[in-house]
């Protein structure tokens, strides 16, 4: 969980975080290399804690891309996550995960399992 270790060092307090609702919805908030561990940790958080919400976001993003539309569904999905207070719980939850390079959850796989 190398990226979680980077995240913990770069964002050691909630005050270090950008506005997460803006971060996930506005491409202009991308801050380069220091944003990558944040994006990774936020995705990991949604994967572990709110997998149905993450699936909805991914489906909305695919729908936006395939239709070339304005992305109302994606915007609505992102706003729902912000309105439900998930972002406020993100920092505390993320800092409870192991950061020593060993997976804290064996169900998280980086490669598909062999057939």
Q: What's the whole-model pTM score?
A: 0.71
What is the distance between the alpha carbons of residues 115 and 24, in angstroms, rounded to a whole number? 35
What are the residue ranges of helices labelled H in the chain?
2-10, 20-25, 35-49, 51-67, 72-83, 86-94
So where are the chain's domains?
2-94
Show Cβ contacts of residue 52 under 8 Å, excluding neighbours closer than 6 positions. Answer: none
Q: Which residue did the predictor score with more confidence, 65 or 20?
A: 20
Predicted confidence (pLDDT) per residue in 42-86, tens digit: 888 889 888 988 888 888 878 766 666 555 666 777 777 777 777
Average pLDDT of 84-113?
Answer: 64
Q: What is the mean pLDDT of the chain?
A: 76
Average pLDDT of 85-105?
Answer: 70
């Amino acid at each position: 969980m190398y990226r979680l270790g980077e995240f913990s060092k770069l964002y050691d307090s909630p005050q270090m975080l950008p506005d997460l609702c803006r971060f996930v919805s506005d491409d202009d908030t991308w801050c380069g290399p220091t944003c990558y561990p944040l994006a990774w940790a936020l995705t990991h958080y949604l994967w572990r804690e709110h997998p149905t919400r993450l699936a909805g976001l991914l489906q909305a993003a695919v729908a936006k891309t395939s239709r070339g539309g304005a992305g109302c569904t994606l915007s609505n999905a992102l706003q729902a996550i912000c309105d439900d207070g998930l972002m406020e719980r993100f920092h505390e939850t993320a800092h409870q995960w192991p950061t020593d390079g060993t997976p804290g959850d064996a169900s998280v796989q980086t490669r598909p399992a062999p057939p």
